[in-house]
Amino acid sequence: MTETGATPAIIAATSALEERLPFADTTDLEDAERGFIGALRPGQVFAADGRVVWDADAWASVLELERPETVNPSLWRQARLVALHGLYEVTDGVYQVRGMDLSNMTLIEGDTGVIVIDPLVSTETAAAALALYREHRGNRPVTAVIYTHSHVDHFGGVRGVVSGEDVAAGRIPVLAPEGFVEHAVAENVYAGPAMARRAAYMYGAALPVGPAGQLGAGLGMTVSTGTVTLIPPTLDVTRTGQEEVLDGVRVVFQVTPGTEAPSEMNFLFPDLGALCMAENATHTLHNLLTLRGALVRDPHAWAHYLTEAVDLFADATSVEFASHHWPTWGRERVVALLTEQRDLYAYLHDQTLRLLNKGYVGAEIAEMFELPPGLERAWHTHGYYGSASHNAKAVYQRYMGWFDGNPGHLWPHPPEQAGRRYVEAIGGPEALLEVARRAFTNGDYRWVGELVGHLVYADPGNTAARELQAAAFEQLGFGAENATWRNFYLVGAAELRGDKVGTPTVAASPDVLAQLSLGRLFDSVAIRVDGPRAGDLRIGVDWTVTGPDGEHQYWSRLSNGVLSHGDGAGREKADAVVRADRQGLLALFSGQAGPDELRESGSLTIEGAADALGRMLGVLDSADPGFAIVTPRPRER
């Protein structure tokens, strides 16, 4: 990989920031180190096949040095805090394993064992975190699991801490906010492959760690790359004020739907004075629209629930912890943290609306946006994961959509066609590169990234263009306070330079897909129908899906390039009736096994037109798990 140092323009910008920020305030470091008990040494976690799925030591040798000029000082500080790893005591009976995955695992000691909150991304890291806890606190059995919300870094490792049999037998309750499974699964169905692809850019998990490489994700260091599992909850938390007793420990819940996740909850352990804020209040400005892609979140609701959390819980709280970052001790400091976080999301919401109602568009509002001094002074409001810039655009998008109202932007040429026209307008590739090189010398890397992008799209074989755009992205990455911006820029540069940019974490694991309802499963098939190829096909298949909970009748009809489906039998007679179990259905739709193979093995039967099913499956397209982002995609036909 080509690597350059930071240019004088970046060094000047980051040095100015270093002067401005309150580095003398070391409270966060004290909090992050407080209660340290022990760490996994060495810090690697392996998969069964010997592959490293987590390396907590990866960052240590870089972060112990003086800040390199290729890292923003504010991000450097955050990376040092986030990279700390090990088992920590939060308060009597409350422990956290931090820095062993993107998220934290919290452990609450009960009468007979230990309650696990948020079992990380992978079974391997979750098992290692639990083992680390047990090494220091004794071999306590897991007596309950709580998922704070529906994102994969809060449930994926569950089979590393409990077995499905123990949960199914009712020996271990699993709690989650209402709607958890629906949202956990849905997020990985419709746009799952694209989100996984962009997550590779956002977290930089395939990027080498180093002064000019990956240095965390702001929220955690990166995402582990082990086995993602899902055991559905056995007890839904449906309302605020709901109280449960788990292993002798009282818990009072606050449901917070539509905040950081569509299904999320905060909760208080009143007898321990400990408050879990899930991912609703962390030591960063969070995302209203994550760069990997998602539905836009609602900062208005988010702020409301933070106010409610203070009202409900603050008086009974002596320590607050979350599913990322370090805890906050002391009632007053907890209230300050929660109200500042509240003000942060409310300010983003209200000010973006104020400005859009005066006609300003997303890009303008993002550039105008400045936090008030009280929020700017706090470290936890800085954009290490979300940013004021992309969050303001997210609020605009939430209310107004992609169109800014200017008809000049209503029907522009797509990137390749626009690229060719821009290159021609400016007098050809050499003239464009000349302008871009001048801009690079002047430190206007944003303009270089945009301008040279037109040439890269017009002629992806132009290596001078690719290298110049990569160099600009690299400087933007070096200067970024936001870790996910840094990762996107640096992975983008790697793609331009022809480095292999993999997709290391895919959340749509077999365990997650097994939780799909029939409706969702057929939805996931419908979005793979190659419309143009299926345009004049009409095929009807009725299904009998067998499983432990009995038989389900289901219908599907392909017409006009659309696969419609629903419960029961179809209105018109089907060409074929297929009988299969869920396993067979999953194998069929994922392409793991063809109809003939499944018929021979006896897990599928077809009545009626024998070729109907094959013709329907024949028009299914598949996602590209490693699609290009910075350079053109292959032409569809």
What residues line the site for Zn ion (CB under 5 A)?
A: 103, 151, 153, 279
Q: Which two structure tokens, joined as six digits, stand for 172?
A: 């271990």
Run of H or E including 174: strand 174-177
Peptide bond connecting 233 to the previous residue in cis, omega within 30 degrees of 0: no
CA–CA distance, 384 with 285 (Å, rounded to integer) = 7
- Report in angstroms how near the CB of residue 219 gets to Zn ion at its nearest: 7
Residue whose token pair is 């004020």: 241
Contact by Cβ (8 Å): 54, 460: no
| CA neighbor of 265 nearest in space, from 146, 371, 380 | 146
Q: Which is nearer to Zn ion, 151 or 393 (CB)?
A: 151
Q: Which is nearer to Zn ion, 79 or 322 (CB)?
A: 322
Closest approach of Zn ion to the CB of residue 154, in Å: 6
The residue among 220 and 299 lying less far from Zn ion, judged by its C-beta, is: 220
* 247 vs 264 by CB, closer to Zn ion: 264
Work out how close the CB of 156 gets to Zn ion at its nearest, in angstroms, rounded to a whole number: 11
- Residue 555 · residue 574 · CB < 8 Å: yes
In angstroms, the CA 51 to CA 226 distance is: 9
CB nearer to Zn ion: pick between 227 and 323: 323
Q: Which residue is nearest to Zn ion (CB)?
A: 153
Whose tokens are 């509002």? That residue is: 365
Q: Residue 185 — left, alpha, or beta (φ > 0 → left; ψ -120 to 50 → alpha)?
A: alpha
Query: Least distance from C-beta 261 to Zn ion, angstroms?
Result: 8
Closest to Zn ion by CB, 187 vs 279, is: 279
**How many Å apart are CA 102 and CA 623, to the nearest integer?**
26
Shortest Å, Cβ 282 to Zn ion: 8
Report how many helices (DSSP H) and strands (DSSP E) the chain contains, helices first. 24, 21
For tokens 């997303």, what's the residue? 362
Report the nearest approach of Zn ion to the CB of residue 323 (Å): 6
CB neighbour burial string for 139-155, b if at least 16 within 10 angstroms, e if fewer: ebebbbbbbbbbbbbbb
- Give the CA distances from residue 296 to residues 150, 289, 328, 398, in Å, rounded to whole numbers and listed in that order: 15, 5, 28, 6
Nearer to Zn ion, 153 or 343 (CB): 153
* Angstrom distance (rounded) from CA 153 to CA 103: 6
Q: Do 390 and 292 form a contact (C-beta atoms < 8 A)?
A: no
User: At closest approach, how far in Å is the CB of 79 from Zn ion?
Assistant: 17
The side-by-side arrangement of strands in the sheet containing 539-547 is 562-567, 550-559, 539-547, 576-581, 604-608
- Smallest gap from residue 424 Cβ to Zn ion (A): 46
Nearer residue to Zn ion within complex by CB, 103 or 387: 103
Q: Which is nearer to Zn ion, 338 or 521 (CB)?
A: 338
Q: How far is the CB of 34 from Zn ion (least distance, A)?
A: 22
**Rounded Cα–Cα distance for residues 89 and 92 (Å):** 7
State the nearest-atom distance from the C-beta of 311 to Zn ion, in Å.
Answer: 25
For Zn ion, the closer CB: 264 or 298: 264
